[in-house]
Chains A and B, each alone.
Chain A
């Protein structure tokens, strides 16, 4: 009985991220449209699109392999597990110790690995270009992410997100390293989610596309699953930034329903703020050439490394 009570918040979180992810995407699109003086699609349009895709038949290329058909589910599962392990409204959920921040990063790496592979499965030039560029971006974004994780972990003395959030709530103070890590993490988040200025989520038929090029051959339910995975990833990064740098309102371990409610409200507020800032940023900047992206990501890597070096030099705990 106690176990079931403990499991409820964990289950709620798993369901919550899945339900909220398309909404966040819809909200971002809506804000972006308003900023461009368009009316924009309704908030629930993403759900409608997904429903439509799920009901349609799947058209797959003649030479698609078993990997092509099972890949979307694996990618979705890895992303969902990663997203469900980042604290959203409460810390210290029952399974929160399953994977620490390094493992969450690596889980996203697993999803990307399979995404790049399924992009190459049909053997079209678009799939190859997408996979190749995605792995090039990842080869800089992932070490940058690890460096940021190190910076945060050295400060908090833990790589567990729940512990990090608790530490930031109780001992949080303004530190240079944290500032560097925040900027770096935002850059990584933009790149990993294929947002402007790294990639453009709204384009097709353009040589600069990366993420869309990999999923070009997908249709129907497979495409729907991949889109949910992409939405989950966006939600994950916003939750992650919120949890590490703005942990206010997170319900601590083993608290009652009231604390959970406060946590949920503050989480909703953080998502709104995150989505709004993302839309604002995307409308105010142009997309980069592909070979400018390494410089952009290199900044994140250097910031992460600098943050970590500062900590190594300034303290020994």
Chain B
């Protein structure tokens, strides 16, 4: 059985799982059955994908099935790129299924989740396996629709219904853009198989780039197409949120890489000038928006936008180097982006798992109602903290490695001859550094307010530790964060064939370097050794503990908090999520959100409470979406009048429309000839 057939078997298997569950007629059994089966299938596909990725000589394996459009058929294929993303999808899917073995028990309406969850996984796998435009778009739309159904699982909440509506509109728009992009790629001959597209030269490659940025970018969450993402991702059940944020955005990144790097021919010099600033803006706006949130899951969703920005900075740099025929630096930038794809899929899933555990334990997503959970949920707190450190790009965990590689790619970019890039790349480097620092602030806030301090509500005071399956999923990913952080060389080597296939170059072999350092270009230029950094930190910390405890005091006394002599027992006196972000809002908010604070301070003697009102505006929403929505509504209102025409008026309208079309066609023919 070739790998592609093995991987394809997962699709009917996943689609069949809910039917199996139907037979049991009991929700708890059905829940365990569905998630258990998904876990097994995901692990099997993961094994197939990893074998394909790590066996360096293995050729791409492909298959043509007589499905879909009759004269095309359905093409499927696994090469190194799809093997890598297949691994990402099934690693995330497997962990989410494991987590849901415990988490799914608490679901109030399992009937709205269980049928769609395996289908969603199948859809994502199918996008990656597809090797012609029709199957790709079919799978893409299938993935969108199943995830939309999952977003609407808790549709009683009007916010979720609004999120679902905006999501489906944006998803349709994205698919439309991709459809047009494939139309351009297929050319007048209509060659829809990817193999034929690779060979053909596209007439309008620039237009394809713009369309793919719109189509895949809206799914991934590039600013300003990100508006649906922070609404829809948190609305779904937490394991689905983890899949949408950690994995589905990566499928979108796959779509971008597949079309732009693989199908669209050699990149033009100006492509990166479009992609890189967009990515930089995505980074900064994403993390600033995340900082302003006090809903834990929404904060995580906004932060996904930032990470997509980091990935696209790497992709943009790879395009820039590839356009100027520099395969080695292009491979470095592409590897950095792919490494971040891997990292983000791990720690974002982990963080959503943690948020889900908090949600199950307390019924709260609002951080202002939480606090002190580290005492009641120590294991969840530990795993969540690991995720926070990793996502804040702090050594020795994995987030730092991919960000460090991106910085190294930026440092190589003065060799680019283009003047536009010489000005843009340093500015985007500054944006990347800024967003890394803001990410740390964001996750100090997320962890500090949720898990540290004193409980702000009774529910937070009585939280219970998460169940074993959820903890197992969280700890597996926390361990992966550490492993990928201390031995990144093996992952970089695993990514080498992917880069080789796309940009024709690769990074130096890392696993042979002494002490398992990573050296992107040359040792005299830069190197980093996560293993030693981790070892040194662990040894110094242990030595300090040992020496102090042995030779000095071990005495500990518990007492009331000191707080400069004025402790207040009310938990309301703690810093809240909003007050934590206030200084940053004051520094950046006026530009990014046109933030306005209004303080209503009663005069002395007046006993009414003082009030502070903060208004933040979402500029993308206000300047792009609100006018479009308003315009659509206005046009619909006006056109409504057409409903009440008489039959004669109707006929004349049709006649006029026909004439108009003919006139336009005539002009088009004139211009064309």
Contacts and interface: CB of A to CB of B under 8 A. Distances in A.
Interface of A: 54-67, 73-74, 76-78, 80-81, 84, 95, 97-100, 102-103, 106-107, 109-110, 112-113, 116-117, 120-129, 131-133, 135-136, 138-143, 146-147, 150, 153-154, 157-160, 163, 204-205, 216-217, 220-221, 224-225, 290-291, 294, 301, 304-305, 308-309, 311-313, 315-317
B582 A132 contact: yes
A301 B440 contact: no
B187 interface: no
Interface stretch (B101-109, B256-264, B294-302, B573-581): B573-581
Nearest to B411: A153
Contacts of B427: 305, 309
Given A76-B540, A146-B433, A133 B454 contact: no
Contact of A81 (B437, B523, B540, B555): B540
Given A63-B454, A66-B374, A98-B517, 15 more contacts: A56-B555, A59-B559, A73-B545, A74-B537, A74-B541, A120-B575, A122-B561, A124-B574, A132-B575, A132-B580, A150-B411, A205-B564, A225-B544, A313-B422, A316-B414
Given A97-B529, A147-B429, A147-B430, A216 B564 contact: yes
A68 to B, nearest CB: 9
A81 B540 CA distance: 8
Given A61-B560, A147-B429, A312-B423, A106 B400 contact: yes
Contacts of A141: 437
18 contacts: A56-B553, A57-B553, A59-B557, A61-B562, A62-B558, A63-B375, A99-B528, A100-B527, A102-B526, A106-B404, A122-B563, A125-B574, A143-B433, A154-B411, A205-B564, A225-B544, A305-B427, A312-B422
Classify chain B's interface size: 35 or more
Contacts of B416: 316
Given A55-B552, A113-B444, A63 B372 contact: yes
A67 B388 CA distance: 14
B425 interface: yes
B453 interface: yes
Contacts of B540: 76-77, 80-81
A76 B541 contact: yes
Given A78-B537, A123-B574, A139-B437, A103 B375 contact: no
Nearest to B429: A150
B432 to A, nearest CB: 8
Interface centre among A76, A98, A106 (most CB of B within 10 A): A106
A135 B414 contact: no
A102 B400 CA distance: 10
Interface string B513-526: 00001000001111
Interface in B401-437: 404, 407-408, 410-411, 413-417, 422-423, 425-427, 429-430, 433-434, 436-437
B562 A216 contact: yes
B280 to A, nearest CB: 12
Nearest to A310: B426
Given A99-B528, A113-B389, A113-B392, A305 B426 contact: yes
B567 A124 contact: yes
Given A125-B575, A133-B583, A308-B426, A65 B527 contact: no
A311 B416 CA distance: 13
Contacts of A142: 433, 436-437, 440
B426 A317 contact: no
Nearest to B441: A135
A313 B423 contact: yes
A115 B618 CA distance: 32
B447 A117 contact: yes
Nearest to A104: B395
Give the dominant DSSP class at A's interface. Answer: helix
A33 B239 CA distance: 59
A58 B561 contact: no
Contact of B430 (A78, A103, A143, A294): A143
Contact of A54 (B437, B445, B552, B574): B552
Contacts of B571: 123
Given A97-B529, A117-B444, A312-B423, A73 B544 contact: yes
A236 to B, nearest CB: 14
A109 B426 contact: no
A143 B434 contact: yes
Interface string B564-592: 10011001011100011111101100000
B16 interface: no
B400 to A, nearest CB: 6
Contacts of A290: 583
Given A124-B563, A124-B574, A125-B574, A98 B533 contact: yes
Given A58-B557, A125-B573, A140-B587, A100 B526 contact: yes
A73 B541 CA distance: 5
Contacts of B392: 109, 113
B446 to A, nearest CB: 11
Given A63-B561, A120-B449, A163-B524, A128 B579 contact: yes
B452 A110 contact: no
B94 interface: no
B517 A61 contact: no
Contact of B440 (A78, A135, A291): A135
A95 B557 CA distance: 40
A129 B393 CA distance: 24
Given A54-B553, A58-B557, A121-B453, A136 B584 contact: yes
A116 B448 contact: yes
A136 B395 contact: no
Contact of B395 (A67, A107, A216): A107
B386 to A, nearest CB: 12
A97 B537 CA distance: 16
Contact of B371 (A100, A123, A312): A123
B561 A217 contact: yes
Contacts of B584: 135-136, 139
Contacts of B523: 97, 160
B668 interface: no
B619 interface: no
B363 interface: no
B287 to A, nearest CB: 9
A311 to B, nearest CB: 7
Nearest to B440: A113
Contacts of B448: 116-117, 120-121, 128, 131
B290 to A, nearest CB: 13
B389 A110 contact: yes
Nearest to B371: A123
B281 interface: no
Given A116-B444, A160-B525, A312 B563 contact: no
B378 interface: yes
B553 A117 contact: no
B452 to A, nearest CB: 5
Nearest to A114: B389
Nearest to B421: A312
Contacts of A55: 552-553
Contacts of B483: none
Given A113-B394, A311-B414, A316-B417, A98 B529 contact: yes
Given A77-B540, A142-B436, A136 B587 contact: yes
Nearest to B374: A65
Contacts of A107: 395, 533
The 10 tightest CB contacts between A and B, nearest first, are: A128-B575, A123-B453, A57-B555, A143-B433, A146-B433, A135-B441, A120-B448, A77-B541, A142-B437, A136-B583
A312 B436 contact: no
Contacts of B411: 150, 153-154, 159
Interface in B591-608: none
Interface centre among B374, B436, B452, B561 (most CB of A within 10 A): B452
Given A58-B556, A216-B564, A225 B583 contact: no
Interface centre among B372, B524, B559 (most CB of A within 10 A): B524
